[in-house]
Structure 1
Amino acid sequence: MKLNFENMKAFLIKNKNYVIIAVIFVIMVVTLVKVSNNSSKKAEEAKSEEVITIDEKTQEDAEETQAEPTNDLLVNAYPEVNELITKYFTAMAEGDIDTLLQLQNPLSEEEQAQILQKKEYIEGYDNITCYTKIGPEENSYIVFVYYEIKFININTPVPGEIPLYVCTNEDGTLYIYNGEFSPEVNSYMASIAAGQDVVDLLNSIEAKFTQAQESDPDLKEFIQKLTGSTQEEATQEEETQEQPAAEETTQEEPAQEQPADVSTADGLQEVNETVYATETINVREADNENATKLGQLYVGESTKRTGVLSNGWSRIEFNGKTGYVLSEYLSSSGGLQEVKYLTSTVNIREQADENSSRVGTGYLGTKVTRTAVLDSGWSRINCDGVVGYVKTEFLADTYN
């Protein structure tokens, strides 16, 4: 109303001479003022509506154009996460199981034993860097940890990486979750792993690892020996069911007077070739079924054959030792190399046992190469250079 009154006042002042001179025009002036009033009011209302419309549209556009929350791969961005990871690697290097039990859940007895074994040849972990993304659950984090292992008596540090899932306890403290993931977490992990920033990070670490080995022959030899030793320890575990007795009695040996751990040298043909297991078979200390079992060769697994015996056995190299298997279960035509896809995000284990140490993580939809099938429901895979075991049920021929 104030705006209309001022308009009218201005109009009268502007036209006061006409009012004084010709009163007869007052009625016309009043009429014109009313018309002007109505017009001004309508104009102001229209203007007001336009302003409201613009404001609402502007607000809607602002909401629509507001940047989506980002989940960048941040370097050492969370002090509480960095502190947890530093304590974790310090305890790993010292073999401090009590501290690790507080920091990681679960931590199996098998994993505890392997941590203590690693302490014998690992001096420490240096240059620990946390590449972190927000996790799928409240107050959770996905941490890709870069580290450099310092082996005892080896000059060159070895670059490495491990993905860790960090969660929050009810009291607000952080811990590393080491169990199986839910389908929701699996899906989220897969999306994170497929990100170009994560792929670039892992590729750069792999390149550093390769470069470290190539620059230090002692380191390369040490890693090869260490890998062989670890595999040897793994095969000592009863990780698969015993094969039926008929598997080794197909070609029955005649009774022998010699001890079970003494191999028969008669009819031995020296060879040097790569062969593959066509079935899961036991590896014996000598060329007879009563000899001590050293471990097993799984379907598709390769080994070096050094001799063929006339009694139906072959001499092979097995985890740094000499072993014997039945020749009929070996083939030189090639091993198992099946392309498979992971149907879930899973832990890759050092042994075919869910309590075994985790050597890596395979993400939903990742293409892997299966190199062995175990009767116990596990398969050995190669996942981007990480060799280990996953349950066969998590492998498929295709991924949709």
Structure 2
Amino acid sequence: MSGSEKTRDCFCECKITHKKRMFFVGFFIIGAIAAGQALTNEKMPEETKVIVQEVVNPHILRKVQIAQEEINPLLHEVYTEVDEVVEEYYRELAKEAKFVECYDDVSIYTKLGPYEHSYIVFAYYEMKIKDINTKIPGLGTLYLEEDGKGELSLIRHVKDENVNVLVRELMQHQDVQALTALVKERYTAAFDSDIALREAVRDLRKAYETSPLR
């Protein structure tokens, strides 16, 4: 299966339990990197304050050529409202995840989305598994846009082809590839440094692969 096919598959709606979701977010990072990363489709916690909705048309396309890296560079924590929504998302995600203690050191990198007031986020985090000392680095890809009331929303199920196409194009940018390579390097270093972490990852991967919900 090609990288673009894997990425497209990841945009499908995920129907998973908290346990499976946690595995998808944390321990599938190498697979996500290999596929070029995907928009996060996890089930949102019921009590999250992050606004979640389906993508609703009409949208106003940006006039700039955002698929070009020099016009749409990867910016680190420059959009305060975007950062706040993403940080809240990971706080709530940790509360509902059975095996995750917290997501620490969340660092948010943003590119402009296809529509006015829309954003593609590449969120670096270090996930702390319960009873494991070493944190495991990960990289999530999220889509945010303003809703009809002007409030910034994290979109859970992205079915808009303009968004999907743009994400695939952004993943080819050198700045995104450099970030992806850095996360993969940190993941590998953490994985290789801690026997307990390796065993936990392998156990969870085995549980995931044998799960009837897979």
**Does the pair score TM above 0.5?**
yes
CA distance in 2, matches of 1:163, 1:209: 16
2:77 is aligned to 76
CA distance in 1, matches of 2:145, 2:205: 31
Give the secondary structure class of the aligned counterpart of 2:148.
coil
2:134 is aligned to 156
Give the secondary structure class of the aligned counterpart of 1:231.
helix
Superposition CA RMSD, Å:
1.6
Long gaps (5+) in structure 1: 1-67, 96-118, 238-350, 352-400
CA distance in 1, matches of 2:169, 2:196: 39
1:224 is aligned to 202
How far the C-alpha of 1:69 sits from its partner, in A, is 7.5
Q: Which amino acid counterpart does residue 74 of structure 2 have in structure 1?
A: L
**Higher Cα Rg, which structure:** 1
Residues 314-333 of structure 1 mapped to structure 2, 5 A cutoff: none
Give the secondary structure class of the aligned counterpart of 1:144.
strand
Match for residue 166 of structure 2 among 188, 197, 201: 188
Alignment: residue pair count? 146
Q: Is 1:126 matched up with 2:104?
A: yes
Q: Which amino acid counterpart does residue 120 of structure 2 have in structure 1?
A: I
Q: Which amino acid counterpart does residue 173 of structure 1 have in structure 2?
A: E
1:85 is aligned to 86
CA distance in 1, matches of 2:195, 2:114: 42
CA distance in 2, matches of 1:231, 1:142: 30
Give the secondary structure class of the aligned counterpart of 2:94.
helix
Give the secondary structure class of the aligned counterpart of 1:171.
coil
Q: Which amino acid counterpart does residue 188 of structure 1 have in structure 2?
A: L
CA shift digits 1:75-102 (9 cap, x unpaired): 111110110011111111112xxxxxxx
Q: Which amino acid counterpart does residue 166 of structure 2 have in structure 1?
A: Y
Long gaps (5+) in structure 2: 1-68
CA shift digits 1:169-215 (9 cap, x unpaired): 11111121122433322322222111010011001101100100101
Q: Which amino acid counterpart does residue 74 of structure 1 have in structure 2?
A: L
Give the secondary structure class of the aligned counterpart of 1:188.
helix
Residues 34-73 of structure 1 mapped to structure 2, 5 A cutoff: 70-73=71-74
Residues 1-400 of structure 1 mapped to structure 2, 5 A cutoff: 70-95=71-96, 119-233=97-211, 236-237=212-213, 351=214
Give the secondary structure class of the aligned counterpart of 1:172.
coil
CA shift digits 1:248-301 (9 cap, x unpaired): xxxxxxxxxxxxxxxxxxxxxxxxxxxxxxxxxxxxxxxxxxxxxxxxxxxxxx
Give the secondary structure class of the aligned counterpart of 1:225.
helix
CA shift digits 1:211-230 (9 cap, x unpaired): 00101111011100011112
CA distance in 1, matches of 2:197, 2:95: 22
CA distance in 2, matches of 1:135, 1:180: 12
CA distance in 1, matches of 2:158, 2:71: 27
Q: Which amino acid counterpart does residue 88 of structure 2 have in structure 1?
A: K
Q: Which amino acid counterpart does residue 198 of structure 1 have in structure 2?
A: V
Structure 1 residues 69 and 228, CA gap change in structure 2 (3 angstroms): closer
CA shift digits 1:128-154 (9 cap, x unpaired): 011100100110000000000001111
CA shift digits 1:32-65 (9 cap, x unpaired): xxxxxxxxxxxxxxxxxxxxxxxxxxxxxxxxxx
Q: TM-score, normalised by structure 1?
A: 0.35
Report the identity percentage: 34
CA distance in 1, matches of 2:159, 2:167: 9
Give the secondary structure class of the aligned counterpart of 1:226.
helix
